Structure 1
């Protein structure tokens, strides 16, 4: 009976109204621990918005978001004028036009692919026409024939569709394999055939009928595209010229089968070990590309040549070092002059063509396969000739904002006479134009900052630019007259402002963050200094309950005089001769000493934890980082572990001389490229760094991929010196301090084999002060909170054990 009373009383109490005093308080984060900060981010930090885009009528903004702490993001929509974001249902998503697509020149229609079919959207009426409805997949939707038709690719061939008549025309007929040749007849067969024709009238008449049918078929075939035999090649990038006379295409020849590295996956659903086929290694044969042109009027095809391209036979400077070494006499008797090496012509990769609106002119971007040259050339498909408009040469490698590794950011100005592009000619990526008729080049922007993106406005009267003009660690949105001139800054908040323009370009949706404030969406008028109105609030009360630090942006004066930017985290009450940790970001070409929310947000939170426990933390944008121009970007050429490692050592020196850190209590850690630098630091600077944690590290660059490594170190068989001095495995005997290595066993980027090879090297060198932690289900980027937690508990233990003073034992 007593139990029953208690139960009823408890139930009655639970349904009573909750008073203000009884309201549950929001969870507090409290003292930071690894367990807390390495949880699933959406569960406690908040699901941050990403990938915003406008509806075609400019009334709504769509974006990915996760405010409900689900396992993955979902599509949300909010009215541009305000209101509460709502989740977009699957049924509604199916009815939406694809975000990506192509617009006609007057921006009245949009063509796009969705679920393997092509659609045409009238932007004024919002009416959609379905262009294709087939089991095959159609892709690469675009406008053609000066916007009179829609083009697309199906089954490796180009088609056009006329909206006025509904007629579909096949424009190419590519065929795999080789063209069949005429049947061969021996002398006996020829004799017998002639005899039959001479003897029998029926045979003669049937032979004449067959030949007549063949002539008729050939006449009919003239109305259809020429059969183009590809052999073992494939085609991509099919384009119809605006006047309809030419089809251009890229011929792709894959290299002969090369050995691929296998990554064994041990923890699988099947219970069996399953091998993952990944990639070849640097120096392996690469894919070859050619530009093919089908002249429809002449019913013929040709492949563009580049033999007259300026500098095509110019070998990189580093090759001369090896030639001089090879030609040097080995003794006094060998005085005969070394034979002159045969001239090499480098392979190139063409991109384009890019046609003017009228179709009267075209240009290509051509890059050398070794990535040391980028040519912009005018193309005359009638004469099959190209003429040089601009050559960019870098003895290291061509890259940078708006340039990249492909065509880059290029286009035509409205006059149809000038093209625009970005170049690092001055050491920073800026915007240029060149006149295709006179060759006159003009710089539209200049200064010690980078233009990170450039787009012409719809009315073609101005540019919209993203640049880090105010500070290397800030990104702002600007407007500039089409002919160049002052940059008008539109965004003002310090940090990063990622802008997406509304269809009428009157409004901006801004994805904005600051160093200690995660990404949120804002909307503002396209006017200088206009107020930003917030659309989302993503962070949780638990996350907001902790005072996350705004790291100080400092510059380190490097030994060669360069200014190196870094983030500095300091305890409120620093201990004299206290411990410090240097963090090395990954990717090499990446920026992290900036004023916005870091993609290394877990590391950022870990740095807050370290500072709470008395550590000083330094996060350096070392040589090779992005955001600082060509010289910083290429500062690691032919020697990774050179200037980039010196910057870490110079940072450690600054910590000791200016911030009171003990030179005996400095640790270092990082992942991927940061793991590589950590290994180089522990092996070659053992008196500077007492402890290091190398995560998913490259240990030998000869075992990494071609696309990344070849740019920086060239090919291993052509520049063996660069690989020898850049690979940590060659320096392992220098280890003195405590080393922790962590690696995912199914890493398809930096293979687990890398760390296994280094481990064997350390064993053979009889090193004892190292350990390896393996993560059986993780790829290069960890995804499981349990893995992140385990890894960072080990890192914290490493630093606490080796960098903090021993606690006296009470007696």
Structure 2
């Protein structure tokens, strides 16, 4: 028996040992992330606030499952498939009293009554209904079906079609501002039917023959009788080959506003070849366009159902509509031509929003060059606009809350703006245009919602420190914000519909996300609901990197994470990690969802004698408008000099060897690594560029045009910002790594740079290609291969 027990205990001991993580290696940290533990996600409350649902996988099985708790019982319980089919959470629209909720599910519409907890199905059709909203006295529901608007009476059940958009070739006559009719419709064509000879013959018949006179009189009487009994036909609104979006109805049912979109069909798209396929053949993946390709064009209209008239919303009077972007001063000839043309800039008018009483409508308008955002009052009866707020930026308008706009009451709207340099809350009186700033300071409002009683704003902000977020409440009239959460780190809050409870996804720098629940009161204790981490992950003493700041050459504070080795290698090497996405914040007191693998790799580097620096460089999120736009027209400018200034700080303050500095990063971080290796070759001895942009003229339009404008209008910005133009500067050792089915930064990008390096006779570079990987790698084998190569690069070049 003793022998049997000894044999039996051996595998048990080996399992216990395997769960303890004593040293880090690439193979260990780049495994399937489930080895860390699966954090809760997709947090949502039941509409009656009685249950909190979330996805979770505490057993590290193949799939996440749905769990639920109640405020009274916070022990997570799995939810059955049957319950998942019946509960409703998330999207939808509440009525004014917050007692009923409209929502769409699987293409049909439903109405939930909170008091009775009963759901009524409003539609059951093969067609898809969407975007339901209450209207008027809330006895009717308006929704979209096949591009058209319909209304449904909740009491009697009467269904009425409101619009009749048709994709016919003939256009509907459009009345311009001022009453002039433009276009030529079917009515105009029929009135002109028949030539002069035909009309003369008809008149002669009426003159000569009594029978013709009698028949003509009968036909006229019949026509009058038919018209008296006939139901009025719904006006056809011909839109040709254009798409329709943002269709809304005024609360009184009179005005329909909508956009027509002319799709840029001549915009050439990229195909991404996929080499490893089930068929054995190379298959093309249809992909995006490149920056500068033709854009869709937009026009906005009003359909006055009372006058049975369609007219265009006039944009010619928008303040600054003819302004030429400031960067054209670098192109005098083009500036002169643009000024002479005196053209209106292209704009997009977003969905019209009506006050509850239907007296006022407001719209947000964005210039397609993104230099301006206007909030304007719409006079629906005339299609004319009047200014409430204009936000201009010579770079580009953006920041958190850039598209936030809603009604506070029947005469006030609220929105976010970076006018002060940081994203803050503003309230405007639409009757007189008076404006009030509700929050202020050198911090950002990152999320925003209005309380049910419309007396308070709830918002997330980094007031205490750029890297700490808390949940706050402030009266809509202004005042000092009240902090509702208390845990130092990143707090992402989902407020219960009755506003009594906070569901908090909380993390700290070296502690991944967990779910907490807290009463909606200042100072209330947050109680932990989930425990997700594995024993293996918890067994390693993960660093809480130092949060430091240093001054860059322009005198600004740069925030950084610093990983210091317990014992530095004799070569005193350092590695700079560069986060991707450009506009992203990585230096926080929270766990990095985007770069947790890199966090673990940085720990491993520090374990092996490296000093590691991770900074929120110019262009990163969290630090206001001027930091956000500091890279305008020159990516690889201030953002790169911040990295170089950080290296200088490491040399002077922490004693690293200036000859033993490396850099690595992915996406924007890969681009930065290329720029560093090509333009600062005496600072960086080795670099690993992952899925990197090599030429911004080959990236997408939405991101690139904001920062660099367009290649054919601002070629100087593209040449200054694209690594491929600086490849001749390479001195150190460069490793490039790229997925071959990357649909974000196409594999073609790295191949073009490869050819450039070949033609420049450069030898100290290497390309590792990953045939089955998109932009975000998935396979643990790919992650492992990638980071083994990066570690080998640093070991070979930074520890000489």
Q: Is TM > 0.5 for Structure 1 vs Structure 2?
A: yes
Residues 349 and 656 of structure 1: CA distance in aligned 2, closer, same or farther (over 3 Å): same
| Residue matched to 1:32 | 24
- Measured after TM superposition, the shift of residue 80 of structure 1 is 2.4
Residues 211 and 588 of structure 1: CA distance in aligned 2, closer, same or farther (over 3 Å): farther
| Residue matched to 1:296 | 305
- Please say if 1:278 is aligned against 2:287: yes
- Measured after TM superposition, the shift of residue 145 of structure 1 is 2.2
- Please say if 1:790 is aligned against 2:790: no
- Measured after TM superposition, the shift of residue 100 of structure 1 is 1.3
- Report SS of the residue matched to 1:278: strand
- Please say if 1:74 is aligned against 2:65: yes
- Please say if 1:64 is aligned against 2:64: no
Which stretch has the larger CA shift, 69-78 or 152-161? 69-78
| Residue matched to 2:366 | 367
1:490-511 deviations in whole A, cap 9, x for unaligned?
A: 1111111111111211111111
- Please say if 1:137 is aligned against 2:128: yes
- Please say if 1:149 is aligned against 2:140: yes
| Residue matched to 1:604 | 599
417, 420, 431: which one aligns with 2:411: 417
Contact residue 324 and residue 335 of structure 2 kept, 8 A: no
487, 492, 495: which one aligns with 1:493: 487
Which stretch has the larger CA shift, 283-292 or 649-658? 283-292
Q: 1:153-552, aligned counterparts within 5 Å?
A: 153-179=144-170, 181=186, 182=189, 184-185=193-194, 223-323=232-332, 341-403=340-402, 408-414=403-409, 416-552=410-546
Contact residue 422 and residue 625 of structure 2 kept, 8 A: yes
1:156-175 deviations in whole A, cap 9, x for unaligned?
A: 11111111111111111110
TM-score (normalised: structure 1): 0.92
Contact residue 146 and residue 357 of structure 1 kept, 8 A: no
Residues 385 and 767 of structure 1: CA distance in aligned 2, closer, same or farther (over 3 Å): same
- Report SS of the residue matched to 2:421: coil
- Report SS of the residue matched to 1:560: coil
Residues 352 and 713 of structure 1: CA distance in aligned 2, closer, same or farther (over 3 Å): same
Residues 788 and 24 of structure 1: CA distance in aligned 2, closer, same or farther (over 3 Å): closer
Distance (whole Å) between structure 2 residues aligned to residue 530 and residue 339 of structure 1: 59
1:726-749 deviations in whole A, cap 9, x for unaligned?
A: 000000000011101111111111
Contact residue 315 and residue 344 of structure 1 kept, 8 A: no
| Residue matched to 2:657 | 662
Contact residue 98 and residue 114 of structure 1 kept, 8 A: no
Residues 30 and 218 of structure 1: CA distance in aligned 2, closer, same or farther (over 3 Å): farther
Contact residue 582 and residue 620 of structure 2 kept, 8 A: yes
- Please say if 1:748 is aligned against 2:757: no
Residues 643 and 216 of structure 1: CA distance in aligned 2, closer, same or farther (over 3 Å): farther
Contact residue 145 and residue 240 of structure 1 kept, 8 A: no
| Residue matched to 2:768 | 773
- Report SS of the residue matched to 1:663: coil
- Measured after TM superposition, the shift of residue 606 of structure 1 is 0.6
Distance (whole Å) between structure 1 residues aligned to residue 46 and residue 491 of structure 2: 20
- Measured after TM superposition, the shift of residue 146 of structure 1 is 3.6
Residues 203 and 517 of structure 1: CA distance in aligned 2, closer, same or farther (over 3 Å): farther
Distance (whole Å) between structure 2 residues aligned to residue 604 and residue 625 of structure 1: 18
- Measured after TM superposition, the shift of residue 99 of structure 1 is 2.5
704, 726, 735: which one aligns with 1:709: 704
Distance (whole Å) between structure 2 residues aligned to residue 304 and residue 374 of structure 1: 17
Residues 87 and 204 of structure 1: CA distance in aligned 2, closer, same or farther (over 3 Å): farther
Which stretch has the larger CA shift, 626-635 or 298-307? 298-307
Distance (whole Å) between structure 1 residues aligned to residue 139 and residue 316 of structure 2: 37
78, 82, 89: which one aligns with 1:87: 78
Count residues with an aligned counterpart: 781
Residues 219 and 643 of structure 1: CA distance in aligned 2, closer, same or farther (over 3 Å): farther
Residues 192 and 652 of structure 1: CA distance in aligned 2, closer, same or farther (over 3 Å): same
- Measured after TM superposition, the shift of residue 428 of structure 1 is 0.4
Which stretch has the larger CA shift, 424-433 or 196-205? 196-205
- Measured after TM superposition, the shift of residue 84 of structure 1 is 2.7
- Measured after TM superposition, the shift of residue 672 of structure 1 is 0.6
Residues 639 and 205 of structure 1: CA distance in aligned 2, closer, same or farther (over 3 Å): farther
- Report SS of the residue matched to 1:681: helix
| Residue matched to 2:174 | none
1:422-454 deviations in whole A, cap 9, x for unaligned?
A: 111110011111111222111111111111122
Which stretch has the larger CA shift, 312-321 or 141-150? 141-150
Contact residue 576 and residue 661 of structure 1 kept, 8 A: no
Which stretch has the larger CA shift, 25-34 or 208-217? 208-217
Residues 33 and 413 of structure 1: CA distance in aligned 2, closer, same or farther (over 3 Å): same
| Residue matched to 2:616 | 621
Distance (whole Å) between structure 1 residues aligned to residue 47 and residue 340 of structure 2: 60
Which stretch has the larger CA shift, 431-440 or 624-633? 431-440
- Measured after TM superposition, the shift of residue 198 of structure 1 is 8.5
Contact residue 59 and residue 81 of structure 1 kept, 8 A: no
| Residue matched to 2:177 | none
- Measured after TM superposition, the shift of residue 802 of structure 1 is 0.7
Distance (whole Å) between structure 1 residues aligned to residue 223 and residue 750 of structure 2: 66
Distance (whole Å) between structure 1 residues aligned to residue 596 and residue 84 of structure 2: 31
| Residue matched to 1:808 | none
Contact residue 571 and residue 799 of structure 2 kept, 8 A: no
662, 667, 672: which one aligns with 1:677: 672
- Please say if 1:108 is aligned against 2:99: yes
Contact residue 500 and residue 509 of structure 1 kept, 8 A: yes
Distance (whole Å) between structure 2 residues aligned to residue 583 and residue 315 of structure 1: 39
Distance (whole Å) between structure 2 residues aligned to residue 665 and residue 221 of structure 1: 88
Distance (whole Å) between structure 1 residues aligned to residue 379 and residue 29 of structure 2: 59
1:766-791 deviations in whole A, cap 9, x for unaligned?
A: 00010111111111111111111111
Residues 46 and 203 of structure 1: CA distance in aligned 2, closer, same or farther (over 3 Å): farther
- Please say if 1:125 is aligned against 2:134: no
Distance (whole Å) between structure 1 residues aligned to residue 222 and residue 240 of structure 2: 28
- Please say if 1:574 is aligned against 2:550: no
- Measured after TM superposition, the shift of residue 143 of structure 1 is 1.4
Residues 774 and 298 of structure 1: CA distance in aligned 2, closer, same or farther (over 3 Å): same
- Report SS of the residue matched to 1:320: helix
- Report SS of the residue matched to 2:633: coil
Structure 1: give runs of 5+ residues left out of the alignment.
1-8, 328-337, 806-811
- Please say if 1:651 is aligned against 2:646: yes
Contact residue 98 and residue 113 of structure 1 kept, 8 A: no
- Report SS of the residue matched to 2:724: helix
Distance (whole Å) between structure 1 residues aligned to residue 6 and residue 229 of structure 2: 86
- Measured after TM superposition, the shift of residue 355 of structure 1 is 1.0
